[in-house]
Structure 1
Amino acid sequence: MCLRNSPVSLSPRRTLWIAIVLFATSIYVYQCQNQVRLYLSHTVSWTMSMSRHEPLYFPAVTMCNQNAFRIVATAESGSYLWLDDMYRRSDISTFNYTKWDVGNTSMRDVFPQHAHLKEDMIMSFVGVKHGLQLVVNVEQYEYMEGPHSAVGLKLLLHRQGDVPLVNDFGDNVPTGMHTFVALSVSKETHLPPPHDECDASRKLRYYDQYTQAACYRECITDLVVATCHCRDHYMPPFDTGEHLAIIVASKLFHIIHQDCIKNRQKNSFESVLTIHSLHDRVCVIHFSFYNNYFMF
């Protein structure tokens, strides 16, 4: 029996499949080579889109005189001696209220009645480009003993309508200086639960809108009322109140980090102060707020 090789004929179907395999293999090799070359070139890809946003409005500017009481006002009301005696003490709890005839006096009435007035302090205010410029007289000749011993102002930039925690986050501004305040704003939008701890539906008793600062103030007030059955002059609601007792710092830490959660949307204002000297005879603080990205 004889065996011999016979040529295999290529059918059209087999030819088509061979062509498809060769074409796919060449495409695969080309793509691999292209990706390796792209990787080795370290090309950076980025996408930019232009969108029109609402204008950024100028933030609220809260200024507080470091001196709480004016000498002339306390002398006229007959409160100078007992206020001076109370705040000269290193421990205010040692103050003897029965030594002085203070009557039915509430600290909520004492602070507004004897405080510095903005009409007397602000000498002039004009806008520079999209900024704010103030000339402020701190009335240092009216200074007396009080809760603070510093001289000058405390300044805080915050969102309109928010509770200003000036004592906690304000910047100290000295007298006799020309102070420039550079502003930058950042907006944070947090995801709803369970992705984050924000709760836009949370309501407060003393404030119409929830913010972390308002929650902090309300929680501090509730803690003080529960501890000593009293309120400080700045605590809500503003219908009654006496001077407060000492609060345990650990409880305040718990309030900040546990009870008061973040806002769903938050605008943060960061201020950078640059201070220049003025003439020694100039007894004012000169502010220049400037930012081209704010509208006033």
Structure 2
Amino acid sequence: HEAPSPEEHLQARTSPLRIEPPFCQQTDDFAHNSTLHGISHIFPYERGWIKRCLWVVFFLGSLTFLLFVCVDRIHFYLEYQHVTQLDEISTPAMVFPAVTFCNLNSFRFSRVTRNDLYHAGELLALLNQRYEIRDIHLVEDNVLEALKIKADFHNFKPRPFNMREFYDRTGHDIKDMLLACHFRGTECRPEDFQVVFTRYGKCYTFNAGNEGHTPLITTKGGMGNGLELMLDIQQDEYLPVWGETDETSFEAGIKVQIHSQEEPSFIDQLGFGVAPGFQTFVSCQEQRLIYLPPPWGDCKVTPMDSEFFESYGISACRIDCETRYLVENCNCRMVHMPGDAPYCTPELYKECADPALDFLVERDNDFCVCEMPCNMTRYSKELSFVKIPSKASAKYLAKKYNKSEQYIAENILVLDIFFEALNYETIEQKKAYEVAGLLGDIGGHMGLFIGASILTILELFDYIYEVIFPFSHVVYIGRNHYSKERGQYFTSLRKNCLLICSHIYQMLAL
């Protein structure tokens, strides 16, 4: 038996550290079998180096373009842009909206008592601080006589006063204002209107849809299929105006808001005016808006943190915020505000509540910042007008309602609200670029530039695994081998090195 050579002896002693097959061979096999285009032209060593260099340049250039496009697509995705989609959807029936209206005059002059004037006369700009009638030269004779009687405080003993009761008692009564009412051709009555308090005082809502009443529906569009009201605004009951306050009005007519049943009325900010002497046609279309939450949009997704309202909306948020602002700054609330805080007195209305609310609404842009709800319903409106009464009908209406023709012209208005068509418009925000689009773009450009796919990426991972795992396994085995036979191993290694050096020396000497 022939003794092993020094090279064979060294190879046998260091066999745990060998890597089979060689790295270059593995890379060459991967290049020939991979679905990654261009790799097979780079690694075959039998080709000329010029062709291989050209293929390297082409491959790296394509890879650079691919990386540039991928970075651009990822950057575009991280911008979280959205698009707005509009659509009109027809339906066989639609819920008719709630209609809230307020007389622009908050208090009827005939209902104001001596006790009311004593407590609120200065607030209404009727009396000065000495409880005397202001600007007598501006007062009409009949009004002055009635006001002198009410403002006679000799031997008067004031009684308790409450602003909520004052607004309720002196506000215009729907039974006196409503001359005619029809919904879809059916007569409606004062009982169909619900009292609601706003900053205008005592107001009324038709089709409020609460207290167990189902909201009314309509099955046709156009006039005659909605709500038609004839109202008397009672200008002879308007308070005389001798000064500018938040409780007095220079205008004559009503304020109207069309809103959904889930939304509280915010008529002083969102209402539109209707003047006497005109028939006003309001053609509506329901709009359902759907907004995206952050980061694509800015709608509010968290529940509303309010003790007054269950569902979130812009109007609910504003009313809640204004209420908290007044309670914090004035220790009271206005009549139209929810909660259990005490109502402001006339003095607090004038000195604190009205100035604070005016400042909040007109100048403070930081306190009441209400986010857009993710789902909301609103109604677009188109208004048109015709003059009433005509010369031909003036005498008839005057006789019918036992009023003068001048009174009819100055006090009567007709309001006609209807759907333009039996459809609604959806305005929906949609994500402009989603994960599926990002992956599709990246995958498409991978195929265009380097002919790769998801499976190609898996091939790369498999190749890396095949290269790294044997090496790590060898290192692990080598470490165990060293820890067990460290002394013997290094002794054998020194001997083998000496044998190799001796063998090389002999070869050189020859």
**TM-score, normalised relative to structure 1:** 0.71
1:91-120 deviation digits (Å, cap 9, x = unpaired): x9x8579x9965432322211121012222
- Residue 174 (structure 1) aligned with residue 174 (structure 2): no
1:256-295 alignment runs, 5 A limit: 256=368, 258=369, 260-279=370-389, 281=405, 282=408, 283-293=411-421
- Residue 154 (structure 1) aligned with residue 192 (structure 2): no
> Quick one: distance in 1 between partners of 2:94 and 2:165?
37
Structure 2 residue identity aligned to 1:116: H
Shift of 1:274: 1.4
- Residue 212 (structure 1) aligned with residue 314 (structure 2): yes
> Quick one: distance in 1 between partners of 2:232 and 2:340?
29
1:80-229 alignment runs, 5 A limit: 80=117, 83-88=120-125, 103-128=159-184, 129-145=224-240, 146-203=247-304, 204-229=306-331
Q: Which residue in 1 is equivalent to 2:116? A: 79
- Residue 246 (structure 1) aligned with residue 341 (structure 2): no
1:209-260 deviation digits (Å, cap 9, x = unpaired): 211110111111111111111211111115631132412347642244x3x1
Q: 2:283, 2:420 within 8 Å by CA — same for their partners in 1?
A: no
> Compared with structure 1, are the counterparts of its residues 176 and 52 closer, same or farther at alpha carbon in structure 2 (3 Å cutoff)?
closer
1:181-225 deviation digits (Å, cap 9, x = unpaired): 121222110123332222343222111221111011111111111
Q: Which residue in 2 is equivalent to 1:69? A: 107
Shift of 1:80: 4.2
> Quick one: distance in 1 between partners of 2:298 and 2:105?
39
SS in 2 for 1:291: strand
> Quick one: distance in 1 between partners of 2:177 and 2:107?
14
SS in 2 for 1:227: helix
Shift of 1:180: 0.9
Higher helix share: 2
> Compared with structure 1, are the counterparts of its residues 219 and 124 closer, same or farther at alpha carbon in structure 2 (3 Å cutoff)?
same
> Quick one: distance in 2 between partners of 1:251 and 1:79?
32
> Compared with structure 1, are the counterparts of its residues 176 and 273 closer, same or farther at alpha carbon in structure 2 (3 Å cutoff)?
same
Q: 1:124, 1:135 within 8 Å by CA — same for their partners in 2?
A: yes
**TM-score, normalised relative to structure 2:** 0.43
Equivalences, count: 240
> Compared with structure 1, are the counterparts of its residues 197 and 127 closer, same or farther at alpha carbon in structure 2 (3 Å cutoff)?
same
SS in 2 for 1:192: coil
Q: 2:226, 2:417 within 8 Å by CA — same for their partners in 1?
A: yes
> Compared with structure 1, are the counterparts of its residues 95 and 106 closer, same or farther at alpha carbon in structure 2 (3 Å cutoff)?
farther
Q: 2:115, 2:159 within 8 Å by CA — same for their partners in 1?
A: no
> Quick one: distance in 2 between partners of 1:230 and 1:134?
36
Q: 2:239, 2:248 within 8 Å by CA — same for their partners in 1?
A: no
CA RMSD of aligned residues (A): 3.0
Q: Which structure has the larger Rg over C-alpha atoms?
A: 2
Shift of 1:84: 4.3
Q: 2:332, 2:341 within 8 Å by CA — same for their partners in 1?
A: no
Q: 1:140, 1:151 within 8 Å by CA — same for their partners in 2?
A: yes
SS in 2 for 1:226: helix
> Compared with structure 1, are the counterparts of its residues 84 and 176 closer, same or farther at alpha carbon in structure 2 (3 Å cutoff)?
farther
Q: Which residue in 1 is equivalent to 2:30? A: none
> Quick one: distance in 2 between partners of 1:82 and 1:226?
24
Structure 1 residue identity aligned to 2:320: E
Shift of 1:83: 3.8
1:22-61 alignment runs, 5 A limit: 55-61=93-99
> Quick one: distance in 1 between partners of 2:115 and 2:158?
9
> Quick one: distance in 1 between partners of 2:262 and 2:162?
27
Unpaired segments ≥5 residues, structure 2: 1-86, 132-152, 185-223, 241-246, 395-404, 424-510
Structure 2 residue identity aligned to 1:88: A
Q: 1:131, 1:294 within 8 Å by CA — same for their partners in 2?
A: no
> Compared with structure 1, are the counterparts of its residues 52 and 62 closer, same or farther at alpha carbon in structure 2 (3 Å cutoff)?
closer
Shift of 1:52: 6.9
> Compared with structure 1, are the counterparts of its residues 81 and 137 closer, same or farther at alpha carbon in structure 2 (3 Å cutoff)?
farther
SS in 1 for 2:326: helix
Q: Which residue in 1 is equivalent to 2:65? A: none
Shift of 1:54: 7.7
Question: Taking every aligned residue pair, what percent have the same amino acid on both sides?
Answer: 21
Q: Which residue in 2 is equivalent to 1:32? A: none
Shift of 1:148: 2.0
